[in-house]
Amino acid sequence: MPALESVQELSQKELEERGEQLRREGIVIRTYDLWKTYIMGDQEIHAVSGVDINIRRGEYVAIMGPSGSGKSTLMNLIGCLDTPTKGLYYLNGKLASDMEDDELARIRNKEIGFVFQTFNLLARATALHNVELPLIYAGVPSQERAERAQAALRAVDLEQRMLHKPNELSGGQRQRVAIARALVNRPSILLADEPTGALDTATGNEIMSLFARLHGEGNTIVLVTHEPDIALHAHRIIHIRDGKVELDEPTPRSR
Ligand code: ADP
Ligand code: MG
């Protein structure tokens, strides 16, 4: 394998071989010298500046840093919502940093389950219908769709509430619906941006227990947070500052 510095000069074939190797090694996320630069007037803002990260299947990782450190920008790159200015990003062995918008949308639907601070549920739809939505986009037939959505709600202990609409559910229950929706496509990664940010402490802890259980069941989880208490639920913390990885350390839970 070539050294990291020369990875930008690899041929198409070498890039593909590298992706194959990452997939064989069970590395779901791999970035090489990843940059995202915004131009604001005559100023360049390096929101992500040269990030190398490596996340294996089954890991539970928190990306933590102060406001403005580049967490959301990095999450948008990892989640294929945005493309880097420079550098390589392999998602499950595929070179996402080279993809056009439609291909990115496809890989995003297949590989990534998103959980947001404010749940982002359809207000007029039942919990069941909200969880079915990604399956509708994926073209799953209706019978199978209903069964899989119901199973996903069962996995977050919400089967009893599946015909309720979001305004008939508590904040914690809404976030559990959003988690069921994120998981229903069986994604390679569950990507959560401040998932407890809109919840009180007790409810936030409930959600963190659910993440712990989902991790125990084999899911790969990447959590973005500015709160050290929340990050400590993960097994590894990647500290971000000024768009760079400052520290990458295991937590006591990894033992
Ligand atoms: P965090 O999520 O850690 O608070 P962000 O990733 O949102 O940080 O932002 C990192 C830096 O990039 C900040 O300086 C922010 O102002 C800047 N930034 C983020 N998005 C944009 C954008 N669309 N245009 C210009 N600058 C941006
Ligand atoms: Mg942010």
User: What domains can you pick out in the chain, each with its CATH number?
Assistant: 4-254 (3.40.50.300)
Distance 80 CA to ligand 2 centre (A): 16
What confidence tens digit (pLDDT) does each residue in 148-200 have?
999 999 999 999 999 999 999 999 999 999 999 999 999 999 999 999 999 99
- What is the per-residue pLDDT for 14? 93
pLDDT over 90 for what percent of the chain? 91
Ligand 1 atom at minimum distance from 67 CA: 4
CA 70, CA 158: separation in Å to the nearest integer?
Answer: 34
* Helix orientation angle between 142-155 and 127-137, rounded to the nearest 10 degrees: 130
Ligand nearest to the CA of 81: 1
CA of 39, closest atom in ligand 1 = 25
Please tell me whether the overall predicted TM-score, pTM, comes out greater than 0.85 for this model.
yes
In degrees to the nearest 10, what's the CA dihedral of 234, 237, 241, 243? -90
pLDDT > 80? residue 3: no
The predicted-structure confidence for 113-161, as pLDDT tens digits, reads as follows 999 999 999 999 999 999 999 999 889 999 999 999 999 999 999 999 9
Model confidence at 9, pLDDT cuts 50, 70, 90, reads confident
Q: Any residues with Cβ below 6 Å from ligand 1, and which?
A: 38, 40, 45, 47, 65, 67-73
**How many Cα atoms sit within 13 Å of 34 on the Cβ side?**
30
Please report the atom of ligand 1 found closest to the CA of residue 40.
25
Predicted confidence (pLDDT) per residue in 18-68, tens digit: 999 999 999 999 999 999 999 999 999 999 999 999 999 999 999 999 999
Sign, CA dihedral 215-219-222-223, equals negative
